[in-house]
Structure 1
Amino acid sequence: MTAHSSPVAELAKTMSAPFEQAQAMPVSVYTDPAFLAEEQEKIFAKSWICAGRADGLKNPGDYLTMEISGEPVIVLRDRDGQLRALSNVCRHRMSTLLEGRGTTRAIVCPYHAWTYSLDGTLRGAPAMELNGSFCKEHIALPQIRCVDWQGWIMVTLDADLPEPAEALKEVDDLVGYLDMSRYQELFREEHRWNTNWKILAENFMESYHLPVCHAGTIGGASKLKDMVCPEGFESFNYHHILKDERVPLALAHPSNTTLEGDDRKRTWLLAIYPSLLITLTPGYFWYLSLMPDGPDHVKILYGGGLSPEFMEDPKAPEYFDALKALLDHVNEEDKGCTEKVWKGMQSKFAAPGALSHLERPNYEFARWILDKVQA
């Protein structure tokens, strides 16, 4: 980066080239704290962010907490069984309220015990009767937009953002036949890696790295000459591959009589902007939902589960244990590769190179980021 340029200007210059002459994003786009501040304000605060699977909050009072662009958020099932997102900041002295995940009958502030119902209304506040300005009925936790889209909990701080069903209608066109809403989550974990969030997102978007980065697991079954990267859509990119019987759960269950031909063995890889990354097969799914934690770290929500047919198979737990072990190993390989990229970016010799035709999704992702930060 020159003394007179900015990461946004550098990215704009890079993206002025057509895909056939494309380069990777400039180093400053990953390493500059000011650019991350732009991303937080113009991307994460104005996008639908995935908080996990809706079936992870099954019962009234089940909750999780998250931060979106630095904003503390509670997501929960209210007493009527509806998904709801609320500000996780007390309306008294502004303490955060809940931490982690769990189940609660009410939201109680750990500072002065102001107590809120699951719909966010204030239920009780000790020793406030002498303050004439205090009116319990006028106090509630601010509501934040939250929807169940195809079984995913999607949350946004933007009051005007189109609904996911509208913004992501092409996802339904592509994979609606698999009905993601019926898959059941069997694990959910949180990790933190020493890399930039975009490095990990880009890693998911391309399969160019599979033969080398994943040589110890799935790399041997990955042939570069067979890979195809179609053009993506406004809100996401994708590619797909055909699996064989080496991963039985990747194929349609024998009891599934609706899928035919290649659809019985097709694996979809969906990168929903900015940071929901889904691998979807006829038998199982797994996902990453990313949140930047400084330029040099990314918080990762990592989960997955099975299709309805496999959930009913008595051997499903045995199959899934083997699959989970494989996914964990693959994840560790990705951790090593993406952290090496971050380390390399700290070099004074670091410079982006030309993109392969197998990295079209990375090019589209870069264009999407540029559009948002320039808005």
Structure 2
Amino acid sequence: MLMTMMLRPIATHLRRSQYPNDKTHFNRHQEHRRRPPAAAFCSLRRRIRPLFCSASDDVSLQQLLHQFDPKVPIDEAVTPPSSWYTDPSFFDLELHRLFYRGWQAVGYIQQIKDPRDFFTGRLGNVEFVVCRDDNGKIHAFHNVCRHHASLLASGSGQKSCFVCPYHAWTYGLDGQLVKATRITGIQNFNVNEFGLIPITVATWGPFVLLNLDKEIFPQGEADSDIVANEWLGSCSTILSTNGVDSSLSYVCRREYTIECNWKVFCDNYLDGGYHVPYAHKGLAFGLQLQSYSTTTFEKVSIQSCEGGSMERKDDYDRLGSKVLYAFVYPNFMINRYGPWMDTNLVLPLGPRKCLVVFDYFIEASLKDDKDFIESSLEDSERVQLEDIVLCEGVQKGLESPAYSTGRYAPTVEKAMHHFHCLLHQNLSNDCVVE
């Protein structure tokens, strides 16, 4: 019943904002286009609504949520049940209440540093495109043609406009429809009402962020301080003063498809270095694990560790004197060490599959040192392959009848517990949209 009541205002909104087929609907649609949050979110609601439609489904989800109690202190708490990592309906709930809300890191500024640059991506069922127009303004849109729903663009690069590969409807980089082919005889058609559906976009440091349910900023990008407060909370200054900034040079991207729930990868990242001496012996040799510490903020946890082994100069150079691992809820990780920064973006692909996107950055003074870059990437690749084995093994264990819940190691797994408490809070909140 709760979920049914929760979606009633969404259904009402959908009846007003579906793609119009008569003049009355055109007028209504245009009115909502002037209120971007509705336009930006309407296609999501239309897709999500059938997933949550029965009281029995809602009762089942509430039961799953209440199997974890965030009020229990970590030294007494049990972990969330395995069903959080295996149940398809729970995964759908996460998409709706986590990934279709709030700021989500989707790329980096260097992907759109010049006019006409663009890149595309996918978040849950949302296909998006981010671009910079000829005037330098950054835009984001649902990457879906308004004619018959074909995807408009793929990959990244430069375009002067977006031409649908299906029927060649053409859109400017500002999202306006500039050409609709072979529509002679169409009635009640206003070209101004068929632009691309916008998504709120902003930047912070070197990152590009989207917010699927936030009002479009009428004057362009949001103030970076406002975005920092909403996305990072009180630790934004800590990150920016520890080398997380746009001065770094971009190196490359690597992607890994992993057969595990997206939270398994996050949990692995958040165990306070617990698994490092057992699973990453090469990495452990370059870290002073006894110095590992964890600090939690509103939506961020920072794990830090002293780095550097004087016995192995190469590791000392790569890791530097201090390593900082920042987890930005719900699915973004920033790793800053030595002259390097790499980011891990975990994208859910299903209850038991995720895509992890690694982007690598380096201080400008070393951007041409190919040997150092190559050896560092090899070290990183080794760690990631070791983590894939771990995460896929955990997923199989979670699906086994032998496991239901576990316990936390209180001195090291504080960041993981913090993550689970935030999950419970967000998933338990009523999803009512005015």
Common topology (TM > 0.5) = yes
Write the letter of the residue equivalent to 2:347: M
Paired residues, number: 355
After superposition, the C-alpha distances for 1:145-191 in whole angstroms (9 at most, x for unaligned) are 11111110111101159943112142322122224221122111332
**Which amino acid letter does the alignment assign opposite residue 17 of structure 1?**
V
- The sequence identity of aligned pairs, in percent, is 24
Structure 2 partner of 1:370:
424
- Give the secondary-structure state (helix, strand or coil) at the position aligned to 2:160: coil
Using structure 2 for the length normalisation, give the TM-score.
0.77
CA distance in 1, matches of 2:87, 2:233: 34
Q: Does 1:185 align with 2:250?
A: yes
Match of 1:248 among 300, 310, 317: 317
Distance, in Å, in 2 between the alignment partners of 1:143 and 1:160 is: 10
1:330 and 2:383 correspond: yes
Contact 2:276 2:283 in 1 (8 A): yes
Q: Residue 208 of structure 1 is aligned with which of 274, 277, 282? A: 274
Please report how far the alpha carbon of residue 124 of structure 1 lies from its aligned counterpart in structure 2 after TM superposition: 0.9
Query: Secondary structure at the residue paired with 1:51?
Result: strand
How much does 1:291 deviate? 1.3
Map Cα deviations across residues 179-225 of structure 1 (whole Å, 9 max, x no partner): 4221122111332110110000111122111011112x213345554
Is 1:350 the counterpart of 2:403 in the alignment?
yes
SS in structure 1 opposite 2:115? coil
- Matched with 1:239 is 303
Unaligned runs of 5+ residues in structure 1 are: 252-264
Cα 1:363/1:122, change in 2 over 3 Å: same
Counterpart pick for 2:187 among 114, 119, 132? 132
Q: Among 48, 67, 75, which residue is 1:20 paired with?
A: 75
Deviation digits for residues 267-316 of structure 1, max 9, x if unmatched? 110110111111012411011111111111001211111023433xx5x3
Q: Which amino acid aligns with 2:229?
A: E
Q: Is residue 8–residue 370 contact of structure 1 (8 Å, CA) maintained in 2?
A: no
Aligned equivalents of 1:282 and 1:326: distance in 2?
14
In 2: Cα distance, 1:131 partner to 1:181 partner: 49
Asked whether the 8 Å contact 2:82–2:405 carries over to 1, the reply is: yes
Deviation at 1:99, TM superposition (A): 1.8
| Structure 2 SS opposite 1:323 | helix
Name the aligned partner's letter for residue 203 of structure 1: N
1:28: how far off? 0.5
Q: CA deviation at 1:125?
A: 1.2
List per-residue Cα deviations over 1:22-50 (Å, max 9, x = no partner): 22221011101111111000000002221
Three-state SS of the structure 2 residue aligned to 1:14 is: coil
Superposed CA offset, 1:33-77 (max 9, x none):
111111000000002221121112232222221122311111122
Return the alpha-carbon distance in structure 1 between the equivalents of residues 278 and 62 of structure 2: 32
Task: Give 1:262's aligned residue.
Answer: none
Instruction: Out of 270-279 and 88-97, give the one that drifted further.
Output: 88-97
In the alignment, is residue 273 of structure 1 matched against residue 273 of structure 2? no
Letter paired with 1:21: E
Output the TM-score relative to the length of structure 1: 0.89
